[in-house]
Amino acid sequence: MRLRRIKGTEEKLYAYTDYVIENPSELKGKWSEYFANDNPIYIELGCGKGNFITQNALRNKNVNYIAMEKAAEVIIKAVQKADNLKLDNVKFCHFNVNDILDVFEENELSRIFINFCDPWHKKRHYKRRLTYRGYLEMYKDILNDDGWLHFKTDNNPLFEFSLNEFVDTNLKIRNISLDLHKEENDWNIMTEYEAKFHSKGMPIYRCEIKF
């Protein structure tokens, strides 16, 4: 489903100067300096309406969070959540993941979250999936030696594809779950999509990947 563009959304988005980074590439290699601390930096690729990233930031004050989202009509809702909570350890980038190497330096990040990304169902579009090996190579560059990728999806074919990509690129996989909500997971914070799928009894697939 194509998202309806709303006139004036970007202007409203960039008015949240305490939260939205208008030119994130200018901070490449300088994110710790920008946050004014040495806390680890976690990013979420495709933050949606922001429940996951804002609740993580609220729970973990010793972590710096960055949310990336290409749809202004969506990310502004996430920014508004952060503003309502008065969070000072989360920032937002209206940016496309394809340009992620322009935003982060080598070894600059400690964790990447990919939650319920577009599965790109058609086989000819497999290279657009955020767990495709071309993207994995980019993540490898910007994660530090202790960095991990955390991946969640409701889409079984995408999860199988992703596991094969992880194995074929010699990555370490841990904590594989084929039905996340059947397990005890008080640590888990749901995205808006996840809450919707869970309410329908759909299984959620999850794993963690070390580069």
Structure confidence by residue, pLDDT tens digits, 20-67: 999 999 999 999 999 999 999 999 999 999 999 999 999 999 999 999
Give dist(CA 128, CA 134) in Å, integer: 9
Look over the chain and give the mean of its residue pLDDT values, rounded to a whole number: 95
Measured in residues, the chain has a length of 211
Active site residues: 118
Domains of the chain: 1-30+39-105 (3.40.50.150), 107-211 (3.40.50.150)
Residue 116, classified by CB atoms within 10 Å of its CB into exposed (0-12), middle (13-18) or buried (19+), is buried
Which regions of the chain are under pLDDT 70? 1-7
How far is 20 from 190, CA to CA, in rounded Å? Answer: 23
